[in-house]
Amino acid sequence: MLQPPPAQPGMREDEVDTPALLIDLDRFEANLDLMAASIVGTGVKIRPHAKTHKCAVIAHRQIARGAVGQCVQKVGEAEALAWGGVPDILVSNEVVGASKLARLAALAGITRIAVCADDPGNVAAIEAAARDAGRRIDVLVEIDVGGGRCGVAPGSDAVALAQAIAASKYLRFGGLQAYHGRAQHMRTPELREAAIAQTVEDTRRTVEMLRQQGLACDIVGGAGTGTFNLEAHSGVFNELQAGSYCFMDADYGRNLDAAGQPVTTFAHSLFVLATVMSAPRPGIAVVDAGLKALATDAGMPLVWQRPDMKVVSLSDEHGKIEFASETASPKLGEKLRLVPGHCDPTVDRYDWYVGVRKGRVECLWPIVARGFNH
């Protein structure tokens, strides 16, 4: 079953049932506008990552502001977005297994689809799926540009794989996937700049080697919310894959700028609304949002605009908050906005966004790819 929507348009925010996933629409729209403005004149396009939002409504709002399409990590996410009318989808990840590849090839009938590969055997499997479906599929070569996760080595290994793709009559070489995930959360600009300088160098060298073999890269894609400005001005990348910029989270809030201050380019726009369900002792409040409502892989949530309050622990369905005794203690039933530690896996726990503006619910948007991690 799906969760019933926790709100109706027109309600006051404090009437929303909890826990609920709120989008502050003014802040959210400002984030989308700012990203669109940031890349004007660079010649680089944004292909936002839908693993953050998992929502066709948001994808279309990004595309309306100039995004070239969407990235996803999973075939299930690609299906949910394609069924929601998104016209251009890159699976920025490897897809392994005949049934998944058959689903991917089927999607090529209703949307432009591309996928990444880092293994010759996998390229052969993608080719078989494309042949069986009678579709031609774009395949990008993923190179490991410092993340130490998936991807072949930059340089000759990448060229060899690209040649295997280009030699297939059912596939088309689509370019390079060159994402450095770890760099997004490096705390100082010096660390981020050093990491992406190497990423850019590895990518530039590989693009040039491909060019010498007659292989052009339609897409040279990568970058996230933490480093997108660096890739945007690299002269090599032509697509940015930032996702979190639309929402932000507590973890991104810990990235620092050159002055040692938190980077505030984008604003927190995503919140988990929670209710105080128990206030048994002075200095303690327990809210109805716990491990099932909030991802903790990047630490505890923050209490929005209440620096005097600290979430000290979460259990399955409880969040325990401590606050200085001199502050106004929250009342039983009071609602608090929490800033998730990590936005992507928090979103994946909910079926609905509740869009709020000026204290009122304006819209409900379904998170159509919630759980579509297959």
* Binding stretches for a copy of itself (CB under 8 A): 1-3, 6, 17-20, 51, 73-74, 76, 80, 93-97, 99-100, 118-119, 121-122, 144, 148-152, 181, 275-280, 286, 288, 291-293, 295-297, 314-318, 320, 332-333, 342, 344-345, 348-351, 366, 368, 370-374
DSSP per residue, 165-225: HHT-SSEEEEEEE---TGGGG-SSHHHHHHHHHHHHHHHHHHHHHHHHTT---SEEEE--T
- Give the nearer residue to a copy of itself in terms of CB position, either 109 or 148: 148
Name the pairing type of β-strands 302-303 and 335-339. antiparallel
Q: How far is the CB of 72 from a copy of itself (least distance, A)?
A: 9
Q: How far is the CB of 43 from a copy of itself (least distance, A)?
A: 29
- Give the nearer residue to a copy of itself in terms of CB position, either 6 or 355: 6
Q: How far is the CB of 34 from a copy of itself (least distance, A)?
A: 23
As a 3-state breakdown, the chain gives helix, strand, coil percent values, each rounded to 5, of 30, 25, 45
CA distances from 148 to 70, 144, 155, 181, 255 (A): 24, 6, 16, 9, 21
- Give the nearer residue to a copy of itself in terms of CB position, either 39 or 272: 272
Rg (CA), the chain: 22
CA distances from 124 to 72, 93, 139 (A): 22, 16, 11
- Give the nearer residue to a copy of itself in terms of CB position, either 44 or 178: 178
Q: How far is the CB of 296 from a copy of itself (least distance, A)?
A: 5
Q: How far is the CB of 156 from a copy of itself (least distance, A)?
A: 15
- Give the nearer residue to a copy of itself in terms of CB position, either 76 or 87: 76
- Give the nearer residue to a copy of itself in terms of CB position, either 331 or 358: 331
Please identify which residue in the block is written with the tokens 């042949």.
131
Q: How far is the CB of 214 from a copy of itself (least distance, A)?
A: 26
Looking at residue 300, its amino acid is M
